Amino acid sequence: MTNEKTEALAPEAIAPEAITPEALAGLGGGHIAYVRTIRSEDVASMFPQAPQIAPGMTLFTLHAADGTPILLTDSREAALANAVQNELETVSVH
């Protein structure tokens, strides 16, 4: 007996070139997010409306599955709490 769902998700089942950038951006359907560590020097490029932040700080961002930045904070726990509050499932990204 085979598990069709498992077979459909097998890495060899989908060639990387078969996934368009648009399809990749749509993964998660607005319900999946991830937390990323950034340096304060990179804040302006992701959050142009953010005030000036002192250089050398480690900050955390919450991103939608498509990479869109949602939140900037100084703690990983705050980013995760915001995801839970907004009913987003966080995934690990390496």
* Residues 79-88 pLDDT 10s: 999 999 999 9
pLDDT tens-place string over residues 41-63: 999 999 999 999 999 999 999 99
Q: Tell me the pTM.
A: 0.67
What confidence score (pLDDT) does residue 91 get? 87
pLDDT band with cut points at 50, 70 and 90 for residue 69 = very high
List of residues 6+ apart from 70 with CB closer than 8 A: 33, 61, 62, 63, 64, 82
